[in-house]
Structure 1
Amino acid sequence: MFHIVFPALPYTTTEEELEEHFSQFGGVSQVHLVVDKETKRSKGIAYIHFTVPDFAARALQESDNSIFQGRLLHVMPAIPRRSNNEENNVSKDQGTKTLKQRREEERKAAEASGDTRAWNSLFMRPDTIVENVARKYGVSKSDLLDREADDLAVRIALGETQVISETKNAFKKAGVNVEALEELAKGKVDALKEVTM
């Protein structure tokens, strides 16, 4: 199963249109368009379940960053929901652990499953980027994230580039071989691509 995340789908897209479009990659067993409970309007997110995992992998590979009904799609694998019994068992086990311990366990599990963001020191969350850029230039985060600005995504992307560049320089000054880390990350990503294909 994988899902399509906003800004991906036009709010007028129907489940039938999604099924028709994604069935070109293989058998679609279920399409779920996420709808706002109050307004009953689409949120621009859909879950599509394929009959065979290879169909989903092909759809993921060929649909990500493609255009659908005039919008750029961002396609990601969906994370299966746990059943209520599993959640109850997990919550009992997790009840005695601190939030920091639970997050550390989640990070280790993500790292073991091949999620390179779990260990990549050059991965930056958007809120961290905005906070650092705002602090560096002496402006508030709200000024940087002006809702009326047409170039908000560009501002964040430029900020991310700047912060990552500064982080790499700090690593180099500390004696870290950044190129070796990048090659290691590239190798893990390539290995993951080979496994999913």
Structure 2
Amino acid sequence: MARSATYTDPAFQPIIMVSLFGAVLIVLGLVFVLIQLWVSVRDREQTKVPVGDPWNGRTLEWSIPSPPPEYNFALIPQVNDRDDFTMSKENGTAYPVAKKYEDIEMPANTALGMILCFAFTILSFALVWHIWWLALVSFLAVPTALIYYSFLLDTTKIIPAKQVEREHKAWLAEVANATPVTREDETKSVNTGLAALELSETAS
């Protein structure tokens, strides 16, 4: 059976036009995503905010560098308030230095996710087009990969304390050298990620 058809009945014309309009919207959406990606790459030096708090954020994700290190927090944050980062900024303790840095254990990089992604993509393609041998191979690839990776013992990596300390102190130096910016300058290149603490926000 053919997977495409030609509709000559005029009654289908409005439905086809609606479908065409939807397809055009989808294409435009993809085009704008690509434009946004291109502009972001083009202007990355002017718009980067390494300090990490360009909008005077209230929660912990704004208390680390941007982009964040793979371990996120050099020090495990101690949370005592709903808006703990805001409270610590008020108290002048938002960017502490550790007395002692420790090694951080992280999951090791793995290709399992990409393997499963490709296997399921090929499996879907093969099922749609009735390519049974390819469907069988891609289907068997999934449990094979899962079983193989389940036997791996080296699944973590250690980020040395010296590296954590070096990166954290370098970032703290950026924080110390950054100029706090007000709301009026948030969208300007002068904003390196350190928003000025405004009394109107802390009082709310």
Which bracket does the TM-score occupy, shorter chain normalised? under 0.3
Superposition TM-score, scaled by structure 1 size = 0.23
For the pair shown, which has the larger CA radius of gyration, 1 or 2? 2
